[in-house]
Amino acid sequence: MPPMSRTGLFIALVLAISAGFVFAMMPELDLKLADLFFDHGKHSFTLGFNPWLVQLRDDSMRLVAALVVAAAVALVVKPLLPRTRLLPSGRAAIFLLASFALGPGLFVNGVLKEYWSRPRPIEVVQFGGDETFVPWWDPRGTCTHNCSFVAGEGSAAFWTLAPAALVPLPWRPVAVGAALTFAVTVGALRMAFGGHFMSDVIFAGIFVFFIVWFLHALIFRWSASTIAFEGIARTLGRRTGANRQIGIPGGEAEGGEA
């Protein structure tokens, strides 16, 4: 079942409603799950000091950054080398950069984490902090900046569903499975370090999936918008060609494929 299909969207909606209901009705579940990683003898989330796990966390974000940079480079190089077939293509690069900018970038880090004032596990009184725990649905916490809801690194990890959706169909299930495994691992690390509750991770994945799904449909599946985005991508390759036709050095007579 392709994740960017209507069935995939329906499954995500069911998960969102189910998770929202469960963690709203039983907010203590977030605390119980966080408590699994808390060392009461040392009064800390001790896994956050494990150098191997810290390195794994850093490497996971480097991987995400590498994917974003690859898309940005493709978008910059296309006008310079219009006849060159790039991976990702012009439209794919637009999709990857737009989904990352709107998902983990704007919506998660620019809006939710700044204005949904939920304290992190490591900050609440149940785990040695001085702030009051609030359930996921309550934005009236005492956190003032870079708050717990939703998981920022988790959202970046779930964004890897976007490049996975572009993998050729025979390999796409493997790519999607790898992306989900990667995202769950990153989310578990953030929980183990006391950085996020389970509901923070779940909703990071759900929100990012909705944004990725919508942009994938807008750029690749909905006919009217697909034509428009294909034109934009091809323009990137043809701009240099137009320059050469009017005597500006560095252009090609015809643009390459998007």
pLDDT digits (tens, 9 = 90+) for 196-211: 999 999 999 999 999 9
204-227: average pLDDT: 86
> Per the domain annotation, does 239 fall within a domain?
yes
Sorting pLDDT into bands at 50, 70 and 90, what band is 233?
Answer: low
Check whether 32 has a pLDDT greater than 90. Answer: yes
Asked whether residue 42 is domain-assigned, the answer is yes
Residue 217 belongs to a domain with what CATH number? Answer: 1.20.144
Q: Is residue 116 part of a domain?
A: yes
60-88 pLDDT, tens per residue? 999 999 999 999 998 888 776 666 666 77
- Residue pLDDT, tens place only, 148-201: 999 999 999 999 999 999 999 899 999 999 999 999 999 999 999 999 999 999
Query: Which domain does 212 fall in, by range?
Result: 6-245
Rounded to an integer, the average pLDDT of 235-247 is: 46
Q: Name the average pLDDT for the chain.
A: 87
Q: Is the pLDDT of residue 236 over 90?
A: no
Please report whether residue 1 resides in a domain.
no
Report the pLDDT averaged over residues 37-50.
Answer: 96
132-153 confidence digits (pLDDT tens): 999 999 999 999 999 999 999 9
For residue 253, pLDDT over 60 is answered with no
pTM of the model: 0.85
Tell me if 220 is assigned to some domain. yes
218 in a structural domain: yes
256 belongs to a structural domain:
no
252 confidence band (pLDDT: 50, 70, 90): very low
The number of folded domains in the chain is: 1
pLDDT of residue 89: 81
Answer whether residue 258 is part of any domain. Answer: no
Three-state secondary structure readout of the chain: CCCCCHHHHHHHHHHHHHHHHHHHHCCHHHHHHHHCCCECCCCECHHHHCHHHHHHHHHHHHHHHHHHHHHHHHHHHHHHCCCCCCCCCHHHHHHHHHHHHHHHHHHHHHHHHHHCCCCCHHHEHHHCCCECCCCCCCCCCCCCCCCCCCCHHHHHHHCCHHHHCCCCHHHHHHHHHHHHHHHHHHHHHHHHCCCCCHHHHHHHHHHHHHHHHHHHHHHHHCHHHHHHHHHHHHHHHHHHHHHHHCCCCCCCCCCCCC
- Region 93-107: mean pLDDT is 97
